[in-house]
C-alpha cells in the first residue's frame, strides 16, 4: 500500500523530467532565427525558432485555460449556491435541535415512557 502513496509523485516527476529533456533538446537543435511578420500591423519580430514555437504553445495553453475558466462559470455558481443552501440548512437543523422535540426552547430530551405500558 505504501507504494501507491508515493507512486503518483514519482510518475509526475518522471514525466516532468522527460518533458524537460524533450524541450531542451528541441531548443538546442532549432536555434536558427526566423522572422514573424504581423500582417495588419507594420511589425516584425526576429526570434529563434524554438522560442517562436514555445511561445505559440504557451499562448495556446493560456487561451485554452481562459476558455475553460469561462465555460466552468455556471458550475462554480451552482457550487456557491449549494454551499450557501447547505449552511442555511445546517443553521436550521442546529436551531431545531436547540429548541427540542416540541418546538419549545430548552425542552430537550425524549418524552418519558412508563415501564409496563
pLDDT digits (tens, 9 = 90+) for 60-94: 999 999 999 999 999 999 999 999 999 999 999 99
Residue 110 lies in a domain: no
- Can you say whether the dihedral through the CA atoms of 26, 31, 37, 38 is positive or negative? positive
Residue 25 lies in a domain: yes
CB 38 within 8 A of CB 44: yes
Answer whether residue 116 shows pLDDT above 70. no
Q: What's residue 4's pLDDT?
A: 75
Percent with pLDDT over 90 in the chain = 66
Q: What's residue 83's pLDDT?
A: 97
Whole-angstrom Cα distance, residue 83 to residue 109? 30
Q: What is the pTM of this model?
A: 0.60
Answer whether residue 115 shows pLDDT above 80. no
Range of the domain at 61: 14-99
Residue 116 lies in a domain: no
Residue 106 lies in a domain: no
Total domain count, the chain? 1
Whole-angstrom Cα distance, residue 99 to residue 93? 10
Biggest alpha carbon–alpha carbon distance for the chain = 99
Amino acid at each position: 500500500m505504501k507504494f501507491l502513496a508515493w507512486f503518483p509523485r514519482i510518475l509526475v516527476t518522471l514525466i516532468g523530467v522527460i518533458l524537460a529533456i524533450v524541450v531542451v533538446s528541441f531548443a538546442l537543435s532549432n536555434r536558427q532565427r526566423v522572422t514573424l511578420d504581423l500582417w495588419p500591423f507594420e511589425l516584425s519580430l526576429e526570434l529563434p525558432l524554438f522560442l517562436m514555437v514555445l511561445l505559440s504553445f504557451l499562448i495556446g495553453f493560456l487561451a485554452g485555460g481562459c476558455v475553460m475558466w469561462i465555460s466552468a462559470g455556471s458550475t462554480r455558481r451552482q457550487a456557491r449556491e449549494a454551499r450557501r443552501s447547505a449552511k442555511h440548512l445546517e443553521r436550521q437543523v442546529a436551531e431545531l435541535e436547540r429548541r427540542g422535540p416540541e418546538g419549545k426552547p430548552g425542552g430537550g430530551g425524549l418524552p418519558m415512557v412508563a415501564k409496563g405500558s
